[in-house]
Structure 1
């Protein structure tokens, strides 16, 4: 992957509709994999929609937590179906590194409306928090279709969120700290879903 981007297209211009004429002319410095170089944002989103995974991610947003952007970025990296922001519609996008343009993001004003959506969509709510009664994510069979629910940095999930969860799981820790960073926990949980549900063979080169 070319981390610094690429300059203007060299040679005969492609006629593939995926490509953005402005990017072909000016170059592409976006944080996208090489497969999507010079593609329009709309074309990238449409292609991602063809192979998004069936798990969703939900985050409570009561304190304008800076971790939310990083969680959205991880959701994009793991091709989550949709990220659901519970609470304030406005959220700190700095950590998303513009990945929110390619990731479906939905808002729910409160836990009750989010829970109603999840029930209607047939998505079990799997809360991630190290509270009494939680089970280890390493030993838990994550549903293929589900929504992984995360709380705020510090207080964790609200009592209302824990009450609507179908299961509460925690990530094993072995040091002295009580908890790990919220965005790190989200990335670990998403990858746990990937390990359980995505088949892996010999590493193949990216197209």
Structure 2
């Protein structure tokens, strides 16, 4: 097993289990990945397959015009709340550092333009709901978030573009009480996704 300051578990002790989900190399050398205990020693493919059987019906989309450092963190948050997919809109390349390799377990789809995201949403019957603190936005805290939807986030700083606003069914704001106009994009994503979880996983209205 791992020492007190080590992440994960060491090599498997005792007879090797006969389970096709387990990775022989991880059994031999140990599993130091950032995964929950249930998935220790599992292959990447087995983990993704198991997650696919449980994924939530909401999607996460984020605009990528400026290679925003927050995109990786948004992907990591989407993985934590088991989003169906993450949609990167704009530049194909995005900063993966903040994802902490969680993109390996999360389905990520690229759309060159917002029109492409809108077409995908329409084809799958998914309303696009923007998250941005602007005049006219509806409060996230009292909004009836649908189970199946796409939650769309803008870049750090400018927020959602005008074209992004145009494809949204509604735009929601997050209540703030300090001096700053907006919060970090990855923090906004975490709050919005948890609002979905509270409503649809625990049966509580936000």
Is the shorter-chain TM-score for this pair beyond 0.5, marking a shared fold? yes
Q: Which residue of 1 aligns with 2:187?
A: 184
Quote the Cα distance in structure 2 between the aligned partners of 1:121 and 1:161.
18
* Residue of 71, 75, 78 corresponding to 2:74: 71
Quote the Cα distance in structure 2 between the aligned partners of 1:91 and 1:78.
21
Q: CA RMSD in A?
A: 1.3
For 1:84-123, what aligned pairs fall within 5 Å after superposition? 84-123=87-126
The answer for unaligned runs of 5 or more in structure 2 is none
CA offset at residue 131 of structure 1? 1.1
Relative to the length of structure 2, the TM-score reads 0.95
After the TM superposition, which parts of structure 1 deviate over 3 Å for at least 4 consecutive aligned residues? Answer: none
CA offset at residue 132 of structure 1? 1.5
Instruction: Tell me how many residue pairs correspond in the alignment.
Output: 200
Q: Which residue of 2 aligns with 1:135?
A: 138
For 1:23-172, what aligned pairs fall within 5 Å after superposition? 23-172=26-175
Find the residue that maps to 2:180 and give its secondary structure: coil
CA offset at residue 5 of structure 1? 1.1
The answer for unaligned runs of 5 or more in structure 1 is 201-207
Find the residue that maps to 1:175 and give its secondary structure: coil
CA offset at residue 155 of structure 1? 0.3
Find the residue that maps to 1:154 and give its secondary structure: coil
Quote the Cα distance in structure 2 between the aligned partners of 1:138 and 1:123.
21
Quote the Cα distance in structure 1 between the aligned partners of 2:181 and 2:46.
43
CA offset at residue 199 of structure 1? 2.5
